[in-house]
Structures are given as C-alpha cells and as structure tokens.
Amino acid sequence: MIPAAFEYFRPTSVKEALALLDHYKDEAKLLAGGHSLIPLMKLRLAQPRYVIDLGRVRELEYIRESGDQLLIGAMTRHVAIETSDLLRQRCPLLAETASVIGDAQVRNMGTIGGSLVHADPAADYPAAILALEAEMRVVSSQGERWIRAEDFFVDMLTTSLQPGELLVEIKVPVLPPRTGTAYVKVAQKASGFALCGVAVVLTIDQNGVCQHAAVGITGVAPKAYRARAVEHALRGQKLDASVTAAASAKAAEGIDPLEDLHASAEYRAHLARVWCRRALEQARARV
C-alpha cells in the first residue's frame, strides 16, 4: 500500500494552482482532502507524476450568503458544512447530507469540491447537489464558467470538467418558505458509501399542494440522477401518503441500476423506490 513516487507542489493561491496545472497537464493530479485520491494512489490505480496539493489554498475555504444564494468554496471540509449554522438555517439539506458522509475522521479531511469532481457513483453530495439545482463554478487559465448540477455528472467517476479546469465554488439557492428537505441513505456497512441515497426538496403551499419537487438519487446508477418521473407525479398534486407512495414507485424508472457484491440491480431499484418514499415523507413533515 505504498503509492508510486511523485513530485509534490503546494500552491497557496488558485492562480498558482492553475499555472501548475497548465504546466503539467494530464500528468498532474489535484489533491484536495485526499480521501478519494490517496486510496487510489495506494492501490496504484492512480499514479500521477505530479501532485498539486490544494490544502493551503485558503481562498477556497468559505461558506457565505450572497443575495438569495449560498456560496461554498470547493476546499470546504465536510465537517464545516455539517456544522455550519448558516447552512443549517438556510440550506439544511446540504448540512444533513454532509453529516452522514463516511465517518468523523473522513469528514474532518474530505472536501465538497474533491468529492464532487471525483464523481463516485455512491457518494452522498451528488444527490443533494442535484435536488438543490446547484451550480458549479470552474476556472482555468482561459477564464471561468458555471456548470449546472445536471450537466456536471457525466458518468461513473466522470464530470464535465475539462483538462486544465479547477472547481472553485458551489452555489446553492436559499430555499423558499414552506420548503422541506431530507437526505436519507442505506449505507454499505463497512465503507459508509450509499447503496442508495435520496435527497428531496419539496415546496408545498398552504393547501398542501406541491409547488416544487426535486429528487436526486445516488448509489443506484452509474451516476447520480434526477428522478424526473417522481417529480412529475408530485407537482401540482395535493400531497398525502398515497400520492407520495405512487410517485416513489417511479424512482428507478428509465435507469440502468448498478450491480455488485453488495447489492443486485433489482435490489438497488427496490431501495430507490422505498427510500424515495421515506425521503419524501420526511421532507413533507419538515415543511
């Protein structure tokens, strides 16, 4: 479990990190919290010649409010998101999701940006990021652009980031009144990764009619996805247990579930339906 040798750089600014990335290109890997990259390097599944450690790029560690948006720096650790009063009040879904990632030690090191760009199909954040319709700001020496959550995850371990680009910020909306959210998951016992994780954002008016529904599901398919059929079945409906149950039955519609040692495809699809219902019920109760 000894990683292959590499050359180490520790920039202190985004500008410096981009210059290194431009110089070493594909031979370089960016190191954030290291809880995805270092395990891969120990197994020698990743053998970068150059490692650019972002651990001292302090300008990427923040959580702040800007108008009706919340901005989170890519190097913000899970523990900071889990315990942020601002997020707990204004976007509890993200804090709740962070609180169940891995374990306490993992949350002390892992970062939101590192987790998102790794795009593990069983990671927790992608479900919440999709349900929140977050946007990701990426920069390169050429400039910057925003990527919508739905365009961000391309496939297993693959995002739409281009070579030379660095994820610097995640933007999530402050949720409107009468909105309830929830993230629930069935974890693989040893690793804590999601066999199935469901994030829900529900806005319900005074009469109990669903104005907005967004459902993100992780762990089930090669990439996290929006359960559009579920959302469609909820919108405009007066919500009760039978409506949410009927909608949840569509949670695995149109997807090709993963199958591995831990769960068959059929079981994963089953989990998606059951835990979608539970997430919806919990979000509804929190409105």
Partner 1 sequence: MTRTTIEVTINGVRYRHEVEPRLLLVHYIRDVVGLTGTHIGCETSLCGACTVLLNGAAVKSCTLFAVQADGAEITTIEGLGEEGRLHPIQEGFWMKHGLQCGYCTPGMILAAYQLLQRYPDPTEAQIRHGIEGNLCRCTGYQHIVEAVRYAAEKLRSQKA
Q: Which is it for the CA torsion 127, 18, 38, 72, positive or negative?
A: negative
For partner 1, the binding residues in 154-173 under the rule CB under 8 A are: none
- φ and ψ of 226, to 5 deg: -85, 130
End-to-end CA distance of the chain: 48
Report residue 114 as tokens.
């590192």
User: Smallest distance, Å, CB 194 to partner 1?
Assistant: 15
For partner 1, the binding residues in 41-70 under the rule CB under 8 A are: 41-42, 51, 53, 55
Out of 18, 28, 31, 210, which residue is the one contacting partner 1 (CB under 8 A)? 31
Stretch that binds partner 1, among 27-35, 209-217, 225-233, 253-261 (CB under 8 A): 27-35
Out of 67, 177, 190, 285, which residue is the one contacting partner 1 (CB under 8 A)? 190
User: Smallest distance, Å, CB 35 to partner 1?
Assistant: 6
User: Smallest distance, Å, CB 41 to partner 1?
Assistant: 8
User: Smallest distance, Å, CB 137 to partner 1?
Assistant: 25
User: Smallest distance, Å, CB 34 to partner 1?
Assistant: 6
When the beta carbons of 106 and 243 are compared against partner 1, the nearer one is 106
Distances in whole angstroms, Cα of residue 248 to Cα of each of 67, 150, 259: 34, 20, 21
Closest CA to 87 of 102, 73, 70: 70
When the beta carbons of 103 and 240 are compared against partner 1, the nearer one is 103
When the beta carbons of 3 and 164 are compared against partner 1, the nearer one is 3
The residues, any chain, with a CB within 8 Å of residue 132's CB and separated by 6 or more, are 91, 93, 94, 149, 172, 173, 199, 201, 214, 216
Hey, how many other C-beta atoms are within 10 angstroms of the C-beta on 97?
Answer: 32
Stretch that binds partner 1, among 35-43, 139-147, 159-167, 278-286 (CB under 8 A): 35-43
Residue 105 engages partner 1 in binding (rule: CB under 8 A) = yes
The single-letter code of the amino acid at 160 is S
DSSP string, 101-147: SS-HHHHHH-BHHHHHHHT-TT-SHHHHHHHTT-EEEEEETTEEEEE
Out of 22, 192, 212, 222, which residue is the one contacting partner 1 (CB under 8 A)? 192
Residue 228 engages partner 1 in binding (rule: CB under 8 A) = no
> How many Cα atoms within 13 Å fall on the side-chain side of residue 34?
12
When the beta carbons of 6 and 62 are compared against partner 1, the nearer one is 6
Q: Strand 50-53 to strand 28-31: parallel, antiparallel, or no bridges (unpaired)?
A: parallel
Residues at the interface with partner 1 (CB under 8 A):
1-8, 10, 31, 34-35, 38-39, 41-42, 51, 53, 55, 79, 102-106, 108-109, 190-192
